[in-house]
Structure 1
Amino acid sequence: MTSRTVLISGAGVAGPTLAFWLARHGFQPTVVERAQGLRSSGNPVDVRGPALPVAEAMGVMDRLRDAATHATALRLLSPDGRPVARLPLGGRRSAAGNTEVELPRGDLAAVLHEAARDRAEFLFDDTVTELRQDPGGVDVVFDRARPRRFDLVVGADGLHSATRRLAFGPEPDFVVHLGVYVATMPLGGPVDHPHDVLIHNEPGRMVSIHPGRGQALAAFIFRHPQVPGFDHRDTGQHRRIVTDAYAGARWRVPELLARLHDTDELYFDSVSRVDLPTWSRGRITLLGDAASCVSLFGDGSSLAMAGAHTLAGALAADPDDHDLALRRYESTHRRLVEPKQRGMGRAAALLVPKTALGITARNLAARAWPGRV
């Protein structure tokens, strides 16, 4: 490649991280994002494990700590709302001594955008509608901007990736529903337990209240077969699905369902796994959830940052052989992703036990946990 131009679709977590590192390696990144701007809130996610050294090298750890949530413990509740056990959250450190950080996803994206914005071109309120590649590059048609040509295109546009659909095929060919759905919404206002994430379970259903940074967030995670005709953009459908799934639930659930019908900031989606035999087709590759979605417990954001760093490094090491670079990126990053994908079923079993017996067994194990507080 001569000019080394790279289009990145998606300005969430993976996209700005990749733009930062590509620019540092001498590439010319452009990031296109469907939304009109950055989100101001979002689900809590973690920067931990392989993402910590990436964040440290980007010089953003202080900003991440400033944006961190106040949660330090997980408080399990019985089906009738009584406390069962309290377990510590986080605490692992990087080689540089930094502890993992939990923060709202929107704040993480904003910090990463801030680090990359002076190094890359950002196009908001636009999306890719057509990709045509040949041995020398990729011709890209946008919804709003004029068509352009790039040396490479990277789809970092999430579980419902438009880039993957255009380059690889329809979403149902690659996205596997794992039998769980998740909904989140902000509650606002102070919380009774400012440092505890409250977890309430009934068979096949979980509700949590997260303290955030003094402004609470509610989550509904529940087991459910794949919904026929599910549309990840249909908020009315989402409200109906959650309401039906939690009919008759106890604790604060009726109150939270009433709030769900009034909120303008409802997030809802399937917990899914993306299965692709290869992440690249010619000069088009995928990154983050678009390539290998890892839902639950926040690992997706950390893996997205680590994958972006790996991809940029591979392209920098072989700038004139994109095939080799993309194979090395995928081979390296799959070793991190695949164990997490295999563990998603175990994570769901702990978070949302199917039966009353399963809830009891999980709670008894939590009471005996040596690190409980």
Structure 2
Amino acid sequence: MKNLSVLISGASIAGPALASWLTRYGCTVTVVERAPAVRPGGQAVDFKGATHRTVLARMGVLDEILRRQTGGQDQTIVDAAGRPQAVIPGEFTGGEIEIRRGDLAGILYEHAACEYLFGDTITALAETADGVDVTFAHAQPRRFDLVVGADGIHSNVRRLAFGPERDYVQYLGYHYALAELGEKVAEGEAVMYNEPGRMAAVGGPKASGFFVFASPELDFDRGDTDRQRHLLMDAYRGAGWRVPELMAEIPRAREFYLDSLSRVTIDRYSRGRVVLLGDAAYGNTLGGFGTGLAIVGAYVLAGELLAADGDHRVAFARYEDQFRGYAKISQRGSAGPFLAPPSPLRIKLRDWTFKSRFLLGLMLKATGKFATDIELKDYAPGS
């Protein structure tokens, strides 16, 4: 493939995965990331089935991921008195391979031998006949052959190239928060507590807290963590179980992140020389398939560019044709009502599904089918 210059926005999962493939295929790749470094921590992410394993193995990162996997941990659902109600098995929450998002991002970062621009962001895109002129907040303007938006559900590239976020992102009625709490508060067995429209879970790696709550869409600056912490505490006022104790730790949580549960719906993944990948194109927050879609999507997009010898018009069309059917799982439902059911009856029914081996088996079988519902091409040069 001819030596394309490619700018990728986003250094979480999809961006470095794509960079790894493109540099292998002879492209010159730059990754720009708003954060000052690869972001550590974050919730556990997982991979399921032969499709995910095949892509990770072809990329050359499967063994390292297996060495650093956390292993799915059973989670006990409790009532306000701490009495067990049901157990969510680790194979359901953690898939076949589970790893911390930050650890995965670090592995992919080390594997992608390319230029990184940390602490910077794209401010303008102007497509010409032979490239895209890119203006950055800090770096000098440059021209690239292609630009890839792999910058998440709130994609800056999508906003610049396709239009306002409100045109493509649908709020699903819930927000979620992640916090690293003190070990005295959150270490030990993973447990989850529900009240109608609210969920609080603690335990597992890094003494983590995980919260999901129903709410009208909240207005906040995504960079203002103090405001986000107060919004979370307001949402859990009056809650039972150990929630007051957990909320008391939120102001000093070592890491904290709050966002909406939202879904991206877009009619085309590309526009001219700009293409979207991962959550920027087909995200569904906490949908359970985002990481797998990002990894497989990066493989397909890079492979189609290789197969088309760098002709982006052909490659982008083939990427969309190959991938849209596989990504349809991201358009289904929302995790909010499952994690934080809206009524006592819905909480009991949800818990009951984990007591029934038959229903649990059906859910596991369905997720495995969705994860493998694509025929992978072998894009290796010369194949």
* TM-score, with structure 1 as normaliser: 0.90
State the partner residue of 2:348.
360
What is the alpha-carbon distance in structure 2 between the residues aligned to residue 92 and residue 354 of structure 1?
A: 21
Deviation at 1:341, TM superposition (A): 2.1
Instruction: Describe the SS at the equivalent of 2:183.
Output: coil
Q: What does residue 111 of structure 1 align with?
A: 107
1:218 aligns with 2:209: yes
Q: How does 1:1-373 map to 2 (within 5 A)?
A: 2-49=2-49, 50-90=51-91, 100-116=96-112, 119-189=113-183, 194=188, 196-212=189-205, 215-227=206-218, 229-342=219-332, 344-345=333-334, 347-370=335-358
Aligned residues: CA RMSD: 2.2
Is the 8 Å Cα contact of residues 77 and 86 (structure 2) preserved in structure 1?
A: yes
* Change over 3 Å in CA distance of 1:129–1:262 after alignment to 2: same
1:70–1:211 contact (8 Å) kept in structure 2: no
Q: Deviations over 1:2-55 (max 9, x none)?
A: 531111011100001000111122222111111111122111111334432221
Q: How far apart, CA to CA, are the structure 1 residues paired with 2:144 and 2:183?
A: 47
Task: Give, in whole Å, the separation in 2 of the partners of 1:284 and 1:155.
Answer: 7
1: CA distance, partners of 2:315 / 2:354? 45
CA distance in 2, matches of 1:330, 1:80: 50
Give the whole-Å Cα distance in 1 for the aligned partners of 2:71 and 2:303. Answer: 34
CA distance in 2, matches of 1:209, 1:92: 14
Deviation digits for residues 145-186 of structure 1, max 9, x if unmatched?
A: 111111100011111111111111111121110001000101
Task: Compare 258-267 and 232-241 and name the one that shifted more.
Answer: 232-241
Distance 1:233 1:242 in 2: 15
Structure 2: any 5+ residue segments left out of the alignment? 362-383
Contact 1:35 1:126 in 2 (8 A): yes
Whether the 8 Å contact between 2:201 and 2:209 is mirrored in structure 1 is: yes
Q: Deviations over 1:298-321 (max 9, x none)?
A: 421111111111100111111242
Letter of the structure 2 residue corresponding to residue 105 of structure 1: R
Which amino acid in structure 1 is aligned with residue 355 of structure 2? R
State how many pairs are aligned.
Answer: 359
Query: Is the CA contact (8 Å cut-off) linking 2:149 and 2:155 kept in structure 1?
Result: yes
Percent of aligned pairs with the same residue?
Answer: 45
TM-score, normalised with respect to structure 2: 0.88
- Whether the 8 Å contact between 2:182 and 2:253 is mirrored in structure 1 is no
* Partner-residue secondary structure (3-state), 1:307: helix
**Cα offsets for 1:291-346 (capped at 9, x unmatched):** 1112115421111111111100111111242112101112222212212321x33x
Residue by residue over 1:236-255, the C-alpha shift from the partner in whole angstroms, topping out at 9 and shown as x without a partner, is: 32122211211111111101
**Cα distance in 2 between the residues matched to 1:298 and 1:193:** 24
CA distance in 2, matches of 1:92, 1:183: 17
Structure 1 residue ranges, 4+ long, deviating more than 4 angstroms after superposition: 190-194
| Conservation of the 8 A alpha-carbon contact between 1:52 and 1:100 | no
Q: Is the 8 A contact 2:187 2:203 kept in 1?
A: no
State the secondary structure of the residue aligned to 1:226. Answer: coil
Inter-partner Cα distance in structure 2 for 1:304 and 1:83: 36
Stretch of structure 1 that moved more, 17-26 or 79-88: 79-88
List alignment gaps of at least 5 residues for structure 1.
Answer: 94-98
Aligned partners of 2:75 and 2:190 also within 8 Å: yes
- Which residue of 1 is the match for residue 366 of structure 2? none
Q: Tell me: CA distance 1:268–1:160, structure 2 relative to 1, closer, same or farther (3 Å).
A: same
Letter in 1 for 2:208: L
Equivalent position SS for 1:312: helix
